[in-house]
Amino acid sequence: MTRDELTALIRSRKRAKGLTWTDLAAQISEGSPIVTTAALLGQMKLTHEEAANAANALDLNDEAEELLAEVPYRGSLPPGPPTDPLIYRFYELVQVYGTTWKALIEEEFGDGIMSAIDFNMTMEREPDPKGDRVKLTMSGKFLPYKRY
C-alpha cells in the first residue's frame, strides 16, 4: 500500500462512518486536531499508539497502521500555483503579504526564519454578523541564520 492509497482509504472510511476530522482527532490523540488531520492526510506521522488508535477507529490493517507511524514524504501539492480555491487563497496571501511578513519579522527578530517544524497552529470559528470568519493563529520558533 502506498501513502496516497492509504490517504484515499482513510477518506473513504471517514466518509462511510460519518466522522469529521475533529471526531477522528479526538479518538486518535490528545494533541492538536490540526496535526492529527495532517497525519491522516499523509503530511505528519503519528506515534505508534496514535497509529493504533487510528487503525481501530477506521478499521485499518497492520500495514496501514505502520504507514501512519512512518516519517512521510511531505508536500502534497503539485508544483505550481494550487488550483483548489481555498488553498489558492493561502498562496495568494503569501504572494501579497509574504514580503511584508518577511520585512516585519526581520525587523523584530533579525535575519532568520520562522520554523514550520517547531510550530503551533490553531483554527477557530469567529462569529461575525456579516458572515463567520476563519481565525488561524500560527506560532513558529524563530531560527536565526548563523554566520561562520
Catalytic residues: 89, 92, 115
For 3, counting Cβ atoms within 10 Å of its Cβ (0-12 exposed, 13-18 middle, 19+ buried), the class is: middle
140, 115 in Cβ contact below 8 A? yes
Taken in order 113, 115, 116, 120, is the CA torsion positive or negative? Answer: negative
Half-sphere exposure of 83 (CA within 13 A, CB side): 2
- For the record, the C-alpha cell of 140 comes out as 513558529
